Amino acid sequence: MTLARKFCILIISGIFLVAGCGYRFVGAYRGEGFSLDYVKNTTQQPRLGVVFEDALAEEAGLIRKEGRKKLAVVVDSFSDEAESVSAVGAPLRQKLTINIQWRVLSELGDISQNGKVSRSRTYPHYTDPVSLDWQRNAAIKKLARDIVRELFDQLGGSD
């Protein structure tokens, strides 16, 4: 095999390895021009505020800093219920629903934009409590990221 052919195979293998590991090129953060004012959790579900702060940082690059506009998020509703059950009444899939309210405060402190986002996601129900807890936490994190993406779609290009 010639040196050129080996080099091409090496390059192609590298491309497949990079693509296979989930690496993706991203554009500018969507939250540019915004900073995070606060995330408040008014539900009984613990740590939802932290999950949403993480999702805002990961999806939009939004952190607590001084920005021209400040985003405030309130997680005001959380439910987790059986979506489907077997013939004997055992749960098969669980359905999570999270609602948030958001608002953007301008430099003067008045509300320049506001809105609501409500999303649902299902996950498999397991009889093993550790597996069930793991699936539930993973679904909550994914749902929070989906909500943050929709929030910034609602905000549009305004910054």
**Mean predicted lDDT score pLDDT of the chain:** 84
Burial class (CB in 10 A: 0-12, 13-18, 19+), 99: middle
Bigger pLDDT: 142 vs 107: 142
Q: How many residues does the chain have?
A: 159
Q: Provide the token pair at 34.
A: 């915004």
Bigger pLDDT: 155 vs 96: 96
Architecture of the CATH domain 31-155: 2-Layer Sandwich (3.30)
Residue 158 vs residues 5, 61, 72, 75, 101: alpha-carbon distances, Å: 50, 16, 16, 23, 18
pLDDT of 29-85, one tens digit each? Answer: 455 677 888 899 999 999 999 999 999 988 888 776 777 788 999 999 999 998 988
The pLDDT of residue 28 is 43
pLDDT of 75-131, one tens digit each? Answer: 999 999 989 888 888 889 999 999 999 999 887 778 888 999 999 999 999 889 999
SS3 state of residue 66: coil
The pLDDT of residue 29 is 46
Question: Are 31 and 62 a contacting pair, CB within 8 Å?
Answer: yes
Q: Where are the domains of the chain?
A: 31-155
Bigger pLDDT: 61 vs 132: 132
Find the mean pLDDT for residues 139-154.
Answer: 93
